[in-house]
Amino acid sequence: MKNLLGSSIEELENVALNYGQAAFRGRQIYKWIYNYRNKKKNIDEIEILPLDFRKKLKDDGFKVSELTLQEKNLASDGTIKLLLSTTDYESIECVGIPTEKRLTACLSSQVGCPMDCKFCATGKEGLKRSLKTSEILDQILFIENEMNRKVTNIVFMGMGEPLLNIDDLLLSIRSINQDFQISQRKITVSTVAIPKMINKLSEKSFQILGNCQFTLAISLHASNQKTREKIIPSAINYEIKNIIEDCKQFVRDTGRRVSFEYLMLSGVNDNLEHANELSNLLKGFQCHVNLIQYNQIDEVEFKRSSLKIIQSFQSRLSNNGIAVSLRKSRGLDKNAACGQLRQNARNK
């Protein structure tokens, strides 16, 4: 199967030339693929192309989409969550988060996840496989089609661990930047943190992208090793102090500050002692902390911290000189937590 999604203008021009067509036919395919208003998904629907050219492409296995829409949920705040099916009958999720000036696409990088974070629904069924570049990019098109507007920002915070699919991740970022015309500075890659992979991410970014301008977000969620291992079992392989050292190296290599995601879990990581501990861990480091309200799920024991506790935690970090913000959860009324829509569909 040959998926054209993710192909550059030059690559599509070569496809056209290989079929005896003029190069501009490749440019026509390019404009057709990346037009967010275009809801057609099949090669034979590219009506601007000659019929015989379309037929040859289709007969030879060319496609522009391998995903199909299985289910969608629209929350009262405008957030849309899509459950998409793959050709091998797996399911993945993506989310569109709109504001007046932007539309953020939250993308998955894998089917399932091997990390088994205790607060997350995605890891309950383990990892099935990694997504191909075209499958990652197609999520953007589905969100744009459903919301009838162009995606402006990308966060790799959906299903899966992006650093375990690093090549397709970076090829996706290349296309998001060059083909979807979204600046790298509007792209965030969120990772639980894998030993040696933070350094590999910056190294391969320069190789594949020529630079590294996207934001790295570490799902830290704890101020010490013991607490982190309690909620993220894989943390046993990666000491929190080593994560911070690797992040400092990432800043030196790229010039980009690192974000730390901190999910506020009631009675687990949300007291002021934890805030002081986190401050000491990050002091003197070019970084930013995002405090996150927890999307509760029935399958786990964790509860959301109260807003009062979160605000006290935020104030303590700020008073300690740490750049911090509170990111409110979206789509709370529509099973917005990662993996919930997929899990609910399987249980039907």
Query: Which pLDDT belongs to residue 271?
Result: 97
Enumerate the H helices of the chain as residue ranges. 9-18, 23-33, 51-59, 133-147, 166-178, 197-208, 225-231, 240-254, 272-282, 307-319, 340-347
Q: 28 lies in which domain range? A: 2-63
- The domain tally of the chain equals 2
Domain shared by 33 and 128, yes or no: no
Inter-residue contact 44 to 50 (CB < 8 Å) = no
Domain shared by 14 and 106, yes or no: no
Inter-residue contact 247 to 216 (CB < 8 Å) = yes
Whether the per-residue pLDDT at 341 is higher than 90: the answer is: no
Chosen domain end from 17, 32, 63? 63
Query: Which pLDDT belongs to residue 338?
Result: 57
181-206 pLDDT tens trace: 999 999 999 999 999 999 999 999 99
pTM of the entire structure? 0.92
Q: What is the mean pLDDT of the chain?
A: 92
Q: Can you give the CATH number for the domain in which 31 is found?
A: 1.10.150.530
Active site (catalytic) residues = 93, 338
Query: Which pLDDT belongs to residue 295?
Result: 85
24-38, 246-260, 291-305: range with highest mean pLDDT: 246-260
Whether the per-residue pLDDT at 308 is higher than 90: the answer is: yes
Inter-residue contact 316 to 276 (CB < 8 Å) = yes
Q: What are the backbone angles phi and psi of residue 129, rounded to the nearest 5°? A: -170, 170
Whether the per-residue pLDDT at 332 is higher than 70: the answer is: no
Q: Side-chain half-sphere of 150: how many Cα atoms within 13 Å?
A: 9
Query: Which pLDDT belongs to residue 344?
Result: 53
Q: Can you give the CATH number for the domain in which 111 is found?
A: 3.20.20.70
Query: Which pLDDT belongs to residue 348?
Result: 53
127-130 vs 91-98, strand pairing mode: unpaired
Domain shared by 77 and 59, yes or no: no
Domain shared by 178 and 270, yes or no: yes
CB atoms within 10 A of CB 244: 19
Q: From CA 237, how far away is CA 114, in angstroms rounded?
A: 14
SS3 326: strand
204-250 pLDDT tens trace: 999 999 999 999 999 999 999 999 999 999 999 999 999 999 999 99
Chosen domain end from 63, 83, 99? 63
Which of the two residues, 332 and 31, has the higher pLDDT score? Answer: 31
Domain shared by 56 and 143, yes or no: no
Whether the per-residue pLDDT at 290 is higher than 60: the answer is: yes
Domain shared by 173 and 47, yes or no: no
Q: From CA 41, how far away is CA 38, in angstroms rounded?
A: 8
Chosen domain end from 14, 40, 63? 63
94-145 pLDDT tens trace: 999 999 999 999 999 999 999 989 888 877 778 999 999 999 999 999 999 9
Inter-residue contact 259 to 292 (CB < 8 Å) = no
Mean pLDDT throughout 147-169? 97
Percent of the chain exceeding pLDDT 90 equals 82
Domain shared by 161 and 56, yes or no: no
Domain shared by 91 and 199, yes or no: yes
pLDDT-wise least confident of 52-61, 172-181, 300-309: 300-309
Domain shared by 85 and 204, yes or no: yes
Domain shared by 109 and 22, yes or no: no
Domain shared by 140 and 197, yes or no: yes
Q: From CA 152, how far away is CA 17, in angstroms rounded?
A: 33
Query: Which pLDDT belongs to residue 123?
Result: 75
Domain shared by 16 and 101, yes or no: no
Whether the per-residue pLDDT at 339 is higher than 60: the answer is: no
